[in-house]
Amino acid sequence: MSIKSLAERFAELQAERDRTWPPEQLAKNANQRRVLVERHDPAALPKAGDRVEPFTLVDVDGIHVPSTDILANGPAVLVFFRFGGCPACNLALPYYNETLYPALSAAGIPLLAISVQIPVDKGPTERHGLNFPTYADPGYALSRQLSLSFLPEDQPMPEPGKPWFGATLGTNSYEIAQPAVIVLNADHTIRFIDISPDWLVRTEAAAVLAHLPETAQAQAA
């Protein structure tokens, strides 16, 4: 049985929205994504070969995990997602669980999902039975270092007692990170990086595995 690509899953999500969302909501969502694509400047972003400074993540139990532990035995694959309730992220993370996790696990390569949400939302893991851990990026430290974080144009003033995005994130800010997939080597250099300004266009698994010959070697062994 073939596995649906991420693009196919997002196309189904968009088709459902086209059927059920009012035109003004569809237009607002499309415009938000269009602006982010227009702002996107690959030349100004980190690239393969660049070194990332050591960082610390926080797991679902509140334990601080240094990058030296994550990279202790070789490369790791980092999947940045927007936040636990993001519909597109709840399609992307199970997709990576199906397509990346088995090959990476066989090769002993860690796969981890990261968002700026504090504390990290357990929802995706519990809903989808993910086999890889999710982490929070405290203070946007890693997201900013990788130039992933941004402030959206639309930042309405929070109303007292009303839910707002900064409360959802637990950061008291509209700042959020763009989806991305990064392969980090043991020495903290970037082997592969793909940033998705349009959150409905994300990295397919094959593009990641193409930069990880270790997975092919594990299958051949």
Q: What is the pLDDT of residues 157-167, one digit of tens each?
A: 888 878 899 99
Q: Tell me, yes or no, whether 79 lies in a domain.
A: yes
Q: Quick one: pLDDT at residue 65?
A: 98
Backbone angles phi, psi at 58, to 5 degrees: -125, 125
Q: Quick one: pLDDT at residue 153?
A: 83
Q: Quick one: pLDDT at residue 161?
A: 77
Q: Tell me, yes or no, whether 123 lies in a domain.
A: yes
CB 58 within 8 A of CB 78: no
Q: Tell me, yes or no, whether 1 lies in a domain.
A: no
Q: Quick one: pLDDT at residue 26?
A: 97
The CATH number given to whatever domain includes residue 91 is: 3.40.30.10
Burial code of 56-92, b = ≥16 C-beta within 10 A, e = fewer? bbbeeeeeeeebeebbeeebbbbbbbbbbebebbbbb
- The boundaries of the domain holding residue 20 are 6-153+160-220
Task: With a cut of 70, list the residues of the chain below it in pLDDT.
Answer: 1, 220-221
Total structural domains in the chain?
1
Look up the pTM and report it.
0.95
Q: Tell me, yes or no, whether 174 lies in a domain.
A: yes
Q: Tell me, yes or no, whether 53 lies in a domain.
A: yes
Assign 113 to helix, strand or coil.
strand
Q: Tell me, yes or no, whether 28 lies in a domain.
A: yes
Q: Quick one: pLDDT at residue 1?
A: 63
Q: Quick one: pLDDT at residue 158?
A: 82
Q: Quick one: pLDDT at residue 217?
A: 78
